[in-house]
């Protein structure tokens, strides 16, 4: 979809990074916007960057909270009308620990935002998008293509988005709704907070979010259900399809060697003969 003039577009996680890039590019293309972020100050900053003529609705809440997402859908319908496009973009980084060292709360929190946030956003706005014959765009990750060390909770959340969206695409095949699954390249955003995440960001997450936003927005409404955006993402997608899993694991360790916290390796062994 290249013409967004007058279209109503919902974006979660619009306070920074990819979400902000989607918002600014869509405003430039003439869309009306419904923007969400859990960080109210960041959301207001995004809103301040929009052209004065842009109609916008803001909702500061956690997408993991189902009731707040459904209330936002009602707010959007009342203030702007039924959504034409929903971009479920909100996400957080994982705990950054191997499986045996991660806590239950790491898995619960990562899944609640990265996966259930997508589920809530899809289900809350689905009646509107069906009515407008619009599009649902769910953002997975390059980590939704291949498993990586110290990222099991994040991998699981992004693979879950992948499975959910592929099923949604099949279910809406005859509904006149476009469904897109986005696997973006390593994108330079401020999602990384830990020291090891910063190493990862500085070395690998270098693609401009503005570039990815343009690629994704141009693909919405086309027959491209899966949008693999960026050179590194395309390499990983190719490898995940055609290379043996064990070889991919070796390649991942080699590629990410200086960005992986090894303090919890090797894996703990059983004690006392059990």
By annotation, the residues acting in catalysis are: 154
Residues 259, 96 contacting (CB under 8 angstroms): no
In terms of Cα–Cα distance, which of 215, 78, 238 is closest to 146? 238
Exposed (0-12), middle (13-18) or buried (19+): which is 97, by Cβ within 10 Å?
middle
Count CB-CB contacts under 10 A for residue 83: 27
Rounded Cα gap, residues 116 and 133, in angstroms: 24
């Amino acid at each position: 979809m290249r013409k967004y003039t007058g279209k109503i577009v919902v974006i979660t996680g619009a306070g920074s990074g990819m979400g902000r890039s989607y918002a600014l590019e869509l405003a430039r293309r003439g869309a009306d916007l419904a923007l969400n972020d859990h960080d109210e100050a960041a959301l207001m900053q995004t809103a301040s960057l929009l052209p004065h003529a842009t109609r916008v609705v803001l909702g500061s809440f956690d997408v993991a909270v189902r009731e707040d997402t459904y209330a936002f859908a009602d707010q959007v319908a009342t203030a702007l009308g039924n959504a034409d496009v929903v971009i479920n973009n909100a996400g957080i980084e994982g705990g950054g620990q191997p499986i045996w060292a991660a806590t239950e709360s790491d898995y619960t929190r990562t899944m609640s935002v990265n996966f259930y946030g997508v589920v809530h956003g899809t289900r809350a706005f689905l009646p509107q998008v069906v009515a407008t014959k619009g599009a649902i765009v769910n953002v997975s990750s390059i980590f939704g293509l291949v498993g990586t060390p110290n990222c099991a909770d994040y991998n699981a959340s992004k693979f879950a988005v992948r499975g959910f969206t592929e099923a949604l695409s099949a279910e809406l095949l005859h509904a006149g709704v476009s469904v897109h699954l986005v696997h973006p390249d390593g994108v330079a955003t401020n999602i990384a907070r830990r020291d090891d995440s910063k190493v990862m960001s500085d070395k690998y997450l270098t693609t401009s979010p503005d570039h990815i936003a343009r690629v994704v927005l141009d693909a919405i409404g086309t027959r491209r259900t899966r949008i693999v955006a960026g050179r590194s993402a395309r390499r990983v997608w190719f490898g995940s399809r055609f290379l043996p899993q064990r070889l991919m694991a070796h390649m991942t360790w080699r590629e990410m060697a200086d960005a992986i916290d090894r303090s919890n390796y090797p894996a703990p062994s059983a004690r006392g003969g059990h």
